[in-house]
């Protein structure tokens, strides 16, 4: 099992990078995919992010929820302080039922 990968806010993480990580992650691997307040950070009227950053974050958040729905990851949050959270994906064991989803992720990441 690997440690949580800490990303500095200025680094960001793209949807493609997230897909690549999920496709190759071993059960129990953890990835911090966002740090902040996700619901606010993707909402235009309250977000401090630029349009492109906000759009990329929305894609990333949607993909994270999709991978959770397909049974590929668990999504958890760790409270860091007021209105500040660490959003973490934890890889689940890949099963026969998740092979199509992994193939789809690999295609996105390619």
If you average pLDDT over every residue of the chain, what do you get?
85
List, for residues 21-70, the tens digit of each pLDDT value: 998 889 999 999 999 999 999 999 999 988 999 999 999 999 999 999 99
Task: Grade residue 8 by pLDDT with cuts at 50, 70 and 90.
Answer: very low
Give residue limits of the domains in the chain. Answer: 1-81
**Residues 63 and 15: beta-carbon distance below 8 Å:** yes
State pTM to two decimals.
Answer: 0.80
**Residues 88 and 32: beta-carbon distance below 8 Å:** yes
């Amino acid at each position: 099992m690997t440690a949580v990968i800490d990303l500095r806010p200025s680094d960001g993480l793209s949807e493609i990078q997230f897909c690549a990580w999920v496709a190759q992650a071993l059960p129990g691997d953890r990835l911090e995919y966002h740090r902040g307040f996700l619901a606010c950070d993707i909402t235009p009227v309250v977000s401090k992010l630029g349009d492109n950053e906000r759009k990329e974050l929305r894609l990333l958040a949607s993909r994270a929820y999709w991978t959770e729905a397909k049974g590929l990851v668990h999504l958890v949050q760790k409270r860091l302080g007021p209105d500040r959270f660490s959003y973490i994906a934890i890889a689940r064991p890949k099963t026969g039922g998740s092979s199509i989803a992994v193939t789809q992720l690999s295609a996105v990441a390619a």
